[in-house]
Structure 1
Amino acid sequence: MLMNKAMNWLPLNRLMVVFVFILVAASIQKFILGYYNNYLMFARPFDCLLTHRSMYVLRPELYSDLYKYSPVFAWLMAPFYYMPDWLGVTLWNLLNPVVLILGVWYFLKDEYHADCKRWIALAIIFPEALITAQNMQSNNLIVGMMLLGIYLLRKEKVWLAALLFTLCFYIKFYGVGAAIFFLFYPRKVQFLVAMVVWTVIFALLPATVISFAELGAEYEAWLKIVVDSKLGLLVSVPGILVYWFDMAKTDGNLRIVEAVGITLFLLPFLRFKQWKMPVYQQLMVAYFLLFVIIFNKMAESPTYVLAVVGVAIWWVTAAERNTLDRILLGLVVVFTSLSPTDLFPPFIRDEYMNPYSIKAVPCVLVWLRMQYQLWTIQSFQERGKTGQAVAAEVALK
């Protein structure tokens, strides 16, 4: 009943407008306050291409910190380089939520009562998307392109899907991981060919500005930066093991944790007979979006929009839910999405939330719940039929 009233008061089309407006406004506020170095790190490395200087050393005259993205991304951001910062910040933070909304819209397009599920998903995602926008990060863009790519695979538009996954790869490595879902759909060989073609084409694009020798040196420097990058904040399973259970923060231990996570993620793919079941595919996508963050040693708060999008997909596409599922969703909203906000006093955030990776815990619990569901549900086909029969009632609960 409460959900019905909310949807009547703020219909889906208005929710999307409000969603985009608030995210753009939040980024403009940060710009006015002078906190937009992340944007400068995206927009200004193109200057290094123009002046034939390496991007992979400190360039304090352009931005703070060290650039860790690909030469291709620097080339793609060239239009923003030529814009005044106020306009570039606005358009960059308009692009990100629009692509995110498009990803959610099309991914849920074939669902029963799709608009209802889109509304609920966007409401769940909003706080995390706002955190990403305030940091002017690319994560809203990445997860939107991942969902659009999976939708295009579903529609057998493999060249467009491969284009989006390739763009993800050249922005953030883990974005290309969503390409694994080509296994569920036809035209597998064509998709792999398309991935190779797009990867090569994009790799060569910066050669329109610099020589091939310079480009090769930049790729070598980029890979070295990625390999040598220091650990992030460990807002993830590795962080929980380090800060809760005193696991030594060594490369060896972290590799073991990553290997365990990868193994757990891949095992449900063994249910080959379920690959064609839409409800199985949806759960696996949600499962992947959580996995790619909670086992990521570089995970930090703004990356969690991917995990929360996974939670939202899990919630709205579930054929049935129980009390445990509702509790888990509540934990995600409160302790993952709202814990970095002023709803929690600074001393709680600084003394408990941040040091103990509390933000990651609810997402880990949901991921374990998905693991259980993937292995214990007898037939995704039967579950899908049940879900269709009760979709309207379930979506509003």
Structure 2
Amino acid sequence: MSLRWLTLPRLLGLFIFILTGAAFQKYMMGSINNYLMFSKPFHNLLLDKSIYGLHPDLYNDNYKYSPTFAWLMGPFYYMPIGLGVFFWNLINSVVLAVGIWYFLEDEEDAARKRWVALLIIFPEALVTAQNMQSNNLIIGAMLLGLYHLRNERVWQAAFFFVLCGFVKFYGITAALFFVFYPKKPQFLLAMTVWTVLFALAPATIIPLSSLKNEYVEWFNVVMVSTLGRLVSVMGILEVWFGMAKTDANLRMVEAVGIVLFLLPFLRFTLWKNRLFQHRMIAYFLLFIIIFNKMAESPTYVLAVVGVAIWWLTLESPTRFDWALLVTVIVFTSLSPTDIFPRFIRNEFFVPYRIKAVGCVLVWARLQWQLWTQAAPDQIKMTSSSTSAPISRLIS
């Protein structure tokens, strides 16, 4: 009742306003390297120079994104930095909010579910916005792609999936859910066309031969990228159980995760069931983060969106479900913030990968729910058996 004043329009406005303004603290402190790394590689494209490798005159760190993303960020290269930071975060926050809005459009009690989803996602989205990362944009575009796919608008869906892929490659993997929907040949054609168009877009300012070299370099950069902070299942296994951080072990854990993720697809009779589809999407969004060896704190907005979608599939959450949600909010979304003293964050949360724990538990919970969900024929048998005594009583 204390949140009655926070109507959906007010919450949506605050969501976009706060996320848009979140980066200005770091901008005032001069901590804007992530933004510079996104906006400045366009400079090298204009000069027909490699966008990869170190460019300390433009930004620190190695650029690991596609040539197409550097091309798409061209308008930000020409903006004053402060204005560019504002519009970059505005675009990220709007795309995320719009993605949530449309993904939940045809749900029963859609207004309430949008309100709940925005509240659950907000703390984690704020962490991403403060770091000026692209993950809010990625997950928003993925949700828009899934929304259009569900409504059989395959060209719009393919556009958003391919856009994600040229920013962060795992974003395109959401296109896997085309198997649940009709118009499969048209969708595959749309994916092919959009991929070619996005891939060739930088050829408007550099020769094709140079563009080919850039893609070769991008592939090499991705292949040799060093490990992230392992805020994931791998990190938990390493720190809690002493698993050696070797390529063989990491690949084994990834392989187990992939098998566990793909197995529920064997429930073919549920492919057209809306509850199963939403659970699988939540399951997927958690999977691509908690089994990602490059996962770090700002990427967790994807997993927390998965948690929000899972929560909205629950008609009557149990105490255990509530405990899982609170665990995610407190230890995933709030653990990197100043709510907790710095020594707790540095000496406990970070080294013990506490941020990943709640999401791993929700993923396990989803695994159980996906396998125990009744198939359509079982639902019919149950309903007929319960209605038979009633019909006999009436007769």
Shorter-chain TM-score: which interval? over 0.9
Query: 2:133 matched to 1:144?
Result: no
Residues 1:114 and 2:115 are matched in the alignment: no
Deviation at 1:317, TM superposition (A): 2.4
Matches within 5 A, 1:120-269: 120-269=116-265
Q: Which residue of the partner structure matches residue 43 of structure 2?
A: 47
Aligned in 2, Cα 1:112/1:214: closer, same or farther, shift over 3 Å? same
Change (3 A) 1:142 1:162: same
User: For the residues of structure 2 that align with 1:381 and 1:76, how far apart are their CA atoms?
Assistant: 49
Partner of 2:96: 100
Q: Which of residues 273, 276, 282 in structure 2 aligns to 1:280?
A: 276
| Number of residue equivalences | 381
Letter of the 2:333 counterpart: S
TM-score by length of 1: 0.94
Shift of 1:319: 2.7
User: Which whole-Å deviations, capped at 9, do the CAs of 1:263-282 have from their partners, x for residues lacking one?
Assistant: 00000000000000111101
Deviation digits for residues 323-367 of structure 1 (CA, Å, limit 9, x no counterpart):
110110010011001111111111111111001110000100000
**370, 373, 378: which one aligns with 2:374:** 378
Paired residue for 2:339, among 334, 338, 343? 343
Q: State how far apart, in whole Å, the 2-side matches of 1:151 and 1:207 are.
A: 31
Distance 1:379 1:337 in 2: 35
| Mapping for residues 308-347 of structure 1, pairs under 5 Å | 308-347=304-343
Distance 1:172 1:365 in 2: 25
The DSSP-based 3-state class of the residue aligned with 2:108 is coil
In the aligned structure 2, how far is the partner of 1:78 from the partner of 1:221? 20
Say yes or no: does 1:291 pair with 2:287.
Answer: yes
Indicate the structure (1 or 2) with the bigger Cα radius of gyration.
Answer: 2
Q: Which residue of 2 aligns with 1:24?
A: 20
Q: Residue 54 of structure 2 aligns with which residue?
A: 58
Residue 57 of structure 2 aligns to a residue whose secondary structure is coil
Cα distance in structure 2, aligned partners of 1:144 and 1:271: 28
Identity of aligned residues (%): 64
In the alignment, the residues of structure 2 paired with residue 380 and residue 128 of structure 1 have an alpha-carbon distance, to the nearest angstrom, of 36
Contact 1:279–1:380 at 8 Å: present in 2 too?
no
Q: Name the CA distance, whole Å, in 1 between partners of 2:343 and 2:45.
A: 44
Give per-residue Cα distances to partners, 1:35-67, cap 9 Å, x unaligned.
111011111100010011111110011111000
Task: Supply the RMSD in Å over aligned alpha carbons.
Answer: 1.4
Using structure 2 for the length normalisation, give the TM-score. 0.95
**Displaced runs of 4+ in structure 1, greater than 6 A?**
380-383
**Structure 1 counterpart of 2:357:** 361
Q: Note closer, same or farther for the CA distance 1:318–1:260 as it changes in structure 2 (3 Å cut).
A: same
* Partner SS state of residue 187, structure 2: helix
Note the residue ranges of structure 1 that are not aligned, 5 or more in a row: 384-397
Q: Could you tell me how far apart the structure 2 residues matched to 1:376 and 1:226 are?
A: 38
Whether contact under 8 Å (1:20, 1:98) holds in the other structure is yes
Q: Distance in 1 between matches of 2:340 and 2:292?
A: 25
1:134-171 C-alpha deviation (Å, 9 max, x unpaired):
00000000000000100000110000100100000000
- Does the residue aligned with 1:119 lie in a helix, a strand or coil? helix
Contact preservation (8 Å) 2:269, 2:375: no
Cα deviation, residue 382, structure 1: 8.3
Q: Which amino acid aligns with 2:228?
A: G
SS of the equivalent of 2:338 reads coil
CA 249–380 in structure 1, closer or farther in 2 if over 3 Å, else same: farther
Which amino acid letter does the alignment assign opposite residue 292 of structure 1? Answer: I
